[in-house]
Every structure is written in structure tokens, then in C-alpha cells.
Structure 1
Amino acid sequence: MAELTTIGHSPEPEQVQARSRTRRSIAEKIRAMGQNRIGALLLLLATAAAIVWANVSTGSYESFWETHLSVGVGDLRLDFTLHALVNDALMAIFFFTVGLEVRREFAIGELTSWSRAVVPVVAAVAGLAIPALLFALIAADTGHAGAWGIVISTDTAFLVGALALIGPRAPGRLRVFLLALAVVDDIGALSIIALVYTEDFTPLPLAIAALGLAGVYFTRYLRGGRGPVYATLAIIVWLAFLASGVHPTLAGVAIALLVPVYRPDRRDVEHALDLARTFRQSPNSEYARAAANSLRESISINERLQSAYAPYVAYVILPLFALANAGVVLSPEILAGAAGSALTWGIVAGLVAGKLIGVFGSTAALKALRIGEFGPGLTLDRLAGGAALCGIGFTISLFIVDLAIDDSAAQNEARVGVLAASVIAFVLATIVFRISDALRTDVDPGQTLVRPVDPARDHIFGSPDAPLTIVEYGDFQCGFCLKASGSIHEVVGELGDRLRYVWRHAPLEQYHPNALAGAEAAEAAALQGKFFDFERGLFADQDNQRPSDIVRLARELGLDVDRFERDLTSPEVTGRVRDDMLDAEAMGITSVPTLFINGRRHTGPYDAQSLIRALGAGEADSAQTAPLTVRPD
């Protein structure tokens, strides 16, 4: 799929179709941001509904959530209020999804590489410690200094939703940073809940929980029927945590950390494709069931559960939690009390100032010391806006209010502080982002290459020190990229050592299902010194880039296939492709091929002679070498 402006020529029909269909190069991110926006909106509406309900009819709000439910058989009974059902049972599912995300990030995600992880990890730790310290200093004489856990955690749902609403242009790399930070932040918050806010601890039930968790771990080895086994063991572990005195929501985290996560295996994917072809040739229920099971099993249980539960958490559980916990009575007396309460101001200062100082201060220090990876677009002004957003500490903050404070009046003051801090943090972040965008000097965003060519990083064809450069952001399944590649190689033949050609990845996953796999495969081949050989092989057979085709190409090129298959799922390979995609997003690249000539975006035809003319104009402007000789058409 491609979009290029051709001077003096009408666009081909396929180009017109591509232009109308091309939106963004990372469709999955759009869907995720859409879900986060809706989830954040529902959370906001539920919060407003809770406040209105509590103030219009205080008695009915409290009495409704204190309604008792009793479930049991014979002498074994569980008695819950509706409020406890939401906070202890439904929120266990929320913490389960948090645990799944934590497990994934440390296994195959952003936190697998220390150079990538150091910045969000340090920022998260500073964003935990400094808010707690500020709160403890301000609220020391209130009798509630032990409630410092209220200010430690950022609400991920509001954070991502708010970033989608008010964030800067091309927020991709900032979003990745904030999500990684939120994962570490959640680990700290969950650990503190377990270690600090657990009362009446009884160790014996935890032995039962340990047996249940062992069962959860070994369930992965069952050949079938794992769903009912997981569900049964999860209930047993949750009940054991409840009986032990450890908050039962942490059972969700413990279970999630034992659920297997992995990248799809080539052999599993091929087996699923074979079964699908068999079903197509002979459609019947047995083959349909086998094909569906094989397709499902090719994806890790962790990712399947995340996909299954995420909508329920975003659209049901978190809004219900807000409805049950955000009902603050905002009478003049309570507001006056909160305005003069050190507890309220401790929460506001901890969340708003503490998070800003901790997150922004630590990242600014790391950037100054050149520690860790930041990447183009993750500038100090955007980090400041992201740090301000981290002050939205809604869900876990309200959750810890109930755990850390017993007095109802103090709980009201604390809830006022949480709500006020979240609003202030949102407004502050909005101001920072707007000022940041207004003060930016790049009047032509996307026209200049954001990441300079780096011979130690980039794939360069030609002399690394050549005075002329063409950088292509492309997709190995794109027919127009194939044409551009042919033109560029003609230019290389014409100019020789005066030109270097650099390839960077911008796979259009929504149109080319195998494009991302092809990009990662080329990076795996690059680790064995065969990037451009692999590139030519992919371009030579664009219609056949399934996993087996990719491995066959690696074998034909003489690569160590075992190492190649291991590298396909390595953090180094996946991170390299992801960085190129984020750079492309930062420059507004929504179609391929997109070419940069001597650091400036090329608009116009990309045949060899047009590119040579563009290179000649750039060379003349910079006066670096003698004018180029252009062959007649």
C-alpha cells in the first residue's frame, strides 16, 4: 500500500485506492487507544454519577452498597456487601489483568532489555518514593500518616485515556514509556498493599493458596480442558487469600504471574494453517474444531486472557468500582474541612507535585547523564507532560483509602484529595502539552528525519561516509516499495560511493498481515550479516512470506536456522523494528515508501532519474561536492 505524489502524472488506480484506505501504520495502537478513550470516559461518567448520587440521596447510596449478599452451601457460607463484592471480587479480575501485563512486559515486552527498561523503572521508583515522602511530611500530624500508599500509584486507564485526548502530536514513544512506567508502578503498589495493608494475617490458608498456585503453574501441561481447571484453581486461591487476611485481590496478581506467555511459535502457526486448509477442503465440525483449537493454542494463554478480559475491565469493572467508591458527599462543611485538612493537601501534593518531581526529575537526570534509551520524540517537554499525567491516581488510590483509613470523615477528606489531585494533574498536563506544541520550532513536522543516520545502528548499503543519503521507510510486502527499491539500486549503480542507502521499517500491518514478521525476520538475518540479502529475498517473493517461507529463505541464504528462529523472538529484534515504527509515527508516515533525501522528506516521483535530480539539488544546496551528472531520460 503506498501513497506518493507524482508530478505530471495521474496516480494509478491502485495508488488512489491506497490513498483512500491508508490511515496509520500501527492499527493495533489505534484500537487500543480507542478502547482506552472509551474506558476513561466511562470511568469519568461513573465517578460523576457516584458523586451526584451520594449528594442527591446520601442515604440510598450508602445503603445500596452496604446491601448484604450471602452465598454458600450448608454451613459453608460467604457474606458480602455489594461494596465488598466489587472491591474484593471484581477488582481481583482487574488486578489479574494488571498481573498479566506485568508478566508480559518482563517476558517479551518493553522491560526485557535493561537499556530500555532503566528509564521507566527509575522513573517509576522515584514516582513511588517522592510522593510518599511528601505525603508523610504534610500529613505527619493527622494521625493518618500510614495512609501514604494512597499517593503512590498512577491510574493506568485514566493515564492512557487522557494521553489519547490531550497528548502531543505523535505521542507513540511517550505512550510506550508511560505504559512501561505504569507496569513498574503497579508492581510497587501491589507489593505495598500486600506488605503494608494486610491485617489479621493467618498463614495456614496461604499453604492452600500455594498448592493452588502450583496447580495453576502445571495446568499449562494439560493437553485440553485447561479453562475449567484454571477457573477452579483461581477460585480456590482467591478463597485461600481471603481466609488468610491478605487482600484477596492479590490472588489475581499471583495467578497472572504464573500464566504462560510467549511469542507465537512458527511450527504452531504452520500447523494451524494446515488444519485451516484441511477444513477448507473438507468442511465438517471435527476439522472446524481442530482448526479453531490450533489457532487459539498458537497464541499464548496470557495474551488470550488479556484480550478476553480487557473489555470487561475497561467497560464494566472499573466503572463499577468508581460508582461504588467515588461517592463523596460535597457539602459545604465537608469541602471546608477538606480545604483545611493536612490529609487532603498531603494527597494533592503527593500525587500532583510528588509524581511530577519524581518522574520528571529522574528522567531529566538520566537524560543529562546519557543513561538508558530515550529515542526521538521523548523530549524533556513531553516527559514533563507525561509526568504531570502520572498524578492521576484514581483507582488504586481510592482502593487504598478504604484499606488505610477507618474513620468515615477522614475517608471523605481523602477521597476529595484524590479527586482534586486527578483533576489538577489532568489540567496541568494539558497546559504543559499545549505550551510544548506551541513552542516547538519544527514548522514542518515530518519533513525532517527525526533520527539521524547512525552507521552503528542502521542498515546501510554503500559507503557509510558517503556525502549523499537516501533513507527509505518501507514494507517488504508493498509493491510500490519493490519499485522504489529497484529505482534506488539504479541510483546506487550510477553514483557509486557518493551515495548511501538506508532501510528502515514501517510495516503496514492492517493491509499486509505478514509485513511485521518480514521486518523482524530481516532483523534476525541482520544479526548474521545478511540483512540486504534477506531484503532482496523478501522482495523477490512478496506473495509468500508465511513463517515456513521465511525460514526456507533463511536456509537458502546459508543462515544458522536454529539461531535465526531464536532471534526472531528476541527483544533486540522486536525492539529494533518497534523503534523504526515509532519513528515513522513521529514523522506522520502513514504510507510507504516514504523517502528522505539528505535528511529531508522527498515528495514527487521516485524513478531513478528523479531521485538523482533530487540528490543533485540537495548536493548543490549544501555545496559539499561537485554537481552531479544526470543521464538523459
Structure 2
Amino acid sequence: MSLLRSARFPAVLLLVAAALGLALANSPLSAGAFAVADAHVGIPGVMDLSVRHWVSDGLLAVFFFVAAVELRFELTSGQLASPRRAVLPAIAAAGGVLVPIALYLSVAGSPTTAGGWPIPTATDIAFALGVLAVFGRGLPPGVRVFLLALAILDDIVGIVFIAVLFTSGVDVGMLLLALVFVVVFAVCSRLLATRWRRFALVGLAVSAIGAWYAVHESGVHATIAGVLLGLVMAQRPAMRTRHTIEPWVNAVVLPLFALCAALVVIPAVSVEELSPAFWGVLLALPVGKVVGIALAGTLAQAVLRVPLADRLAVGDLLAAGALGGIGFTVSLLLSELAFAGAPGIRDQATLGVLAGSAISLVAAGMLVSWRAWHHRRRTPATV
């Protein structure tokens, strides 16, 4: 289990799963792989989803629960608890959202592909922290704090986009029912330390399932249920729950999602025939993130008058930008949602996410290694 709790191994597992999905989709086994992914499982008349949708709407909600628990901890007790400590990475994250959007629209701004602009805005925390763990030995605490806060804030942006942009035909009644279940979940989590513990455990399970079902049926993307439950759960049991399920999220949930999302047939077209959505994502992730984060971070430090001794060097900001370009999980989900009605464009946008994230991964490894070496050379005591 300790291996699955590390930052390195889950990132490698996620990358292998994505590569496997792409390989299966373009191999003689593709028909069988797609048959399994598109097979429907459920209770007729109640809920009947394909395996692919159970993964993206169901299992991925567990990942967002874990992310929301971490986010709440950081906002209340961690790196983002102080507004002064949160403002610099917040401004840098804003640059890492706006510049990729602008680059994407400059390439894919036509009516058929413009809807994909949210795709390159997200950062995959698992991969970003994995690269930091592998290549960042010797980085000062301040740099690590900035990178972690940036990744978390980028994840918030992705969650907000999912909640706001990809919701249509909302069933208000089901949404209100979901909120009732969320409140029950919050209350039950606070009864765990009392003599009502057994009742509370049953209540947690029932209300969690009920909240997910109601959110799904309301028309809002079901992963938002995981976010809400993670934000309202009492902090101590939430952190214990996160610790318990984190290995399963790393070993099962994320690899399965990456496998299903990367199950894309590479189009047999020339480079000139590739969709602008592919080129927009491919450019916006590795280039837009680096430019946006580094530029916004530099300007923020000047405007906020951060003391020279505490400022992040341009090289550190460039490394942060490269890490921000590793989109994978949330970007893949945004790709599915943005082009749900256009499978051809969706598949090419997904290829853009995989290629752009891979480029960012390599660039981040190189830049983080360089900055870690630079800081170790300046302060040998940190080795």
C-alpha cells in the first residue's frame, strides 16, 4: 500500500494505463475493447450506463471526493489557509488558465471547435506531484508550496468548469434532493465520534449513494457529488477516509479512467487534415501553461512587492508552468464533456490532451531537475 501512496508510482501507473488504452484502440483487439467499454450495466428502469460512463461518472466521483478533501484541508489548515500565501499562486493559476484559452481559441476558434476552450485549463495533481517527487529533490520548501498550491487551484478551476459549463436541463427537484443527502452526509460524519457511530456509518453510505444518484439524475455532472461530499465531511474522518481509499483511487480509479479515456482510434489522416481542436490543445497545454504561469507569476511578484529574497526565480516559474501543462485526468474529462456530441472532434481533442500532456511531462521533468540541481548547488545542506 505504501507504494500506492507514494507520488511516483501512481503517476507511472496512470501513464501506462493511458498508453495501454491508446494501444488497444489501435490494435486488432480494438473491437473487443470497445465492446467492453460500451457494454451497458445497471438496473433497467433505474440506471443503465455503459462501462465507460460508470467509470467517468461513478468511479471518478471518488477521485474528486479525495481531491476535495485535500482542497478543504489546504484551505483551512494547509498551504492556502492564509490569503497572503494563496494570492501569488492564485494569480499565476489565473495566467495559466487565460493564456491557454487564448491560444486554443486562436487556433480552434471556429464554431465547431471553439467549445473545447476549457480543455487545456486543468492540471493533473497526481502527475504534477509525481514529477516533483521524482525530479524535485532539493527544491526549497517555498517552491514546493507554490507548485502544490498552483496544482490545487488549477483543479478548482476544472471542477468549476465541469459544474458550470457542462450542465444542461437541470432537474431542480433532484438537485434539491441531492443537497438534502449532502446535508445528511455532513451531519452523519460529525456523529462518528459519538455513541451513534453505527447509525452514522450506515447514514454516510446511504447518503453518499443517494447524493451521487440525485446529482446524476439532476443533469449536473455526477462527479460534482464527490466534490460536495468531500467539502462538507468533518475534517478528521475525511482525512482518515482519504488515507484509506487513496491507494484504491491510485491503483484502480485513475488508471481505469485513463484507460477508457485514451481508448481512441488515431485517425488515418494527414497532418493537414487533423482537427483544429487537436492543434489547439496540443499548443495550449505545453506552451500556454508555461507562458501564462511564468508571466503572471513574474508580474504578481512585482505588483505585490514580494521581497527579492522571497521571490521565485524565472526558472522556478517556468518549471511550474511545465508542470501545469500536464493535463491528463481532468483535461481528458473536459474533452469528453466539451465534444460529447461530436465523437470525431472529441477523439482528436483527446489525442491533443495525451500528446500535449506528454510534451509537458518531459519538459517538466527536465526543468524541475534543472531547478532542483540549481538549488542543491547553491545550498548543499538541503541534499
If the length of structure 2 is used for normalisation, what is the TM-score? 0.91
Which residue is 2:234 aligned to? 260
**Other structure's SS at 1:111 match:** coil
> d(CA) in 2 for partners of 1:114 and 1:372?
14
In structure 1, C-alpha distance between the alignment counterparts of 2:135 and 2:125, rounded to whole Å: 15
Matched residue, 1:65: 37
Rounded to whole Å, the distance in 2 between the matches of 1:336 and 1:329 is: 18
Distance between the aligned counterparts of 1:326 and 1:240, measured in 2?
28
Q: Would you say the 8 A contact 1:115–1:372 is kept in 2?
A: no
Asked whether 1:419 is paired with 2:354, we answer yes
Q: CA deviation at 1:192?
A: 1.1
Q: Please point out which of 200, 225, 246 is paired with 1:310.
A: 246
For 1:394, the equivalent position in structure 2 comes to 328
Correspondence 1:194 to 2:163 = yes
Could you tell me which residue of structure 1 aligns to residue 63 of structure 2?
94
2:16 paired with 1:45: yes
After superposition, the Cα gap between the structure-2 partners of 1:112 and 1:103, relative to the gap in structure 1 and judged at 3 Å, is same
User: Match of 1:212, as an amino acid?
Assistant: F
Instruction: Using the TM superposition, give the Cα deviation of residue 200 of structure 1 relative to its aligned residue in structure 2, in angstroms.
Output: 2.3
Q: What SS does the aligned partner of 1:199 have?
A: coil
1:365 is matched by which residue type in structure 2? L
Q: Which of the two has higher C-alpha Rg?
A: 1
Shift of 1:187: 1.5
Instruction: Tell me how far apart the structure 1 counterparts of residues 375 and 130 of structure 2 sit (CA, whole Å).
Output: 27
- What are structure 1's unaligned runs of at least 5 residues? 1-30, 262-299, 448-586, 589-633
Deviation at 1:372, TM superposition (A): 5.5
Change (3 A) 1:183 1:66: same
Q: Shift of the alpha carbon at 1:337?
A: 3.2
Matched, 1:430 2:365: yes
Residue among 304, 323, 329 paired with 2:265? 329
Which residue is 2:108 aligned to? 139
**What CA deviation, in whole Å up to 9, does each residue of 1:114-142 have, x standing for no partner?**
11111111112221222122212221125
| Greater share of residues in helix | 2
SS in 2 for 1:200: coil
Contact 2:4–2:10 (8 Å) recurs in 1: no
More displaced, 174-183 or 59-68?
A: 174-183
| Whole-angstrom CA distance in 2 between matches of 1:221 and 1:175 | 33
Query: For residues 196-254 of structure 1, what are the alpha-carbon distances to aligned partners after superposition, in whole Å with 9 as ceiling and x for unaligned?
Result: 11122211111111211221222244221222211110111111111110011101101
Partner secondary structure for residue 380 of structure 2: coil
Change (3 A) 1:373 1:111: farther
* CA distance, structure 1, for counterparts of residue 129 and residue 273 of structure 2: 32
Distance 1:335 1:166, change over 3 A: farther
Note the C-alpha offset of 1:378: 4.2
Aligned partners of 2:270, 2:214: CA distance in 1, in Å? 39
Matches within 5 A, 1:106-505: 106-141=75-110, 143-167=112-136, 169-170=138-139, 172-222=141-191, 223=194, 224-225=197-198, 226-261=200-235, 300-333=236-269, 337-338=273-274, 341-371=275-305, 378-405=312-339, 406-436=341-371, 440=374, 443=377, 445-446=379-380
CA contact (8 A) 1:142 1:342 kept: no
Alignment of 1:600-619 (within 5 A): none
Aligned partners of 1:333 and 1:144: how far apart in 2?
Answer: 18
Q: TM-score scaled by structure 1? A: 0.56
Report if aligned partners of 2:140, 2:375 keep a CA contact under 8 Å in 1.
no
Residues 116 and 372 in structure 1, CA contact (< 8 A), matched pair in contact too: no
- How far off is 1:423 after superposition? 1.5
C-alpha spacing 1:444/1:432, structure 2 compared with 1 (3 Å): closer
Counterpart Cα distance in 2 of 1:109 and 1:331:
45
The one-letter code of the counterpart of 1:214 is V
Displacement of 1:367: 2.5
Shift of 1:377: 8.8
Relative distance call for 1:117 and 1:337 in structure 2 (3 A) is: same
One-letter code of the match for 1:195? V
Structure 2 spans left out of the alignment, 5+ residues? none
Figure out how many residues of one structure are paired with residues of the other and give that number.
375
Deviations 1:540-575 (A, max 9, x none): xxxxxxxxxxxxxxxxxxxxxxxxxxxxxxxxxxxx
Tell me how far apart the structure 2 counterparts of residues 32 and 187 of structure 1 sit (CA, whole Å). Answer: 27
Q: Which has the higher contact order (CA 8 A, sep 6+)?
A: 2
Aligned-pair RMSD on alpha carbons? 2.4
Matches of 2:250 and 2:375, distance apart in 1: 38
Deviations 1:493-515 (CA, angstroms, capped at 9, x unpaired):
xxxxxxxxxxxxxxxxxxxxxxx
Query: How far did 1:64 drift?
Result: 1.3
Cα separation, 2, equivalents of 1:141 and 1:227: 51
What letter matches 1:358 in structure 2? G
Match of 1:55 in 2: 26
AA aligned opposite 2:39: T
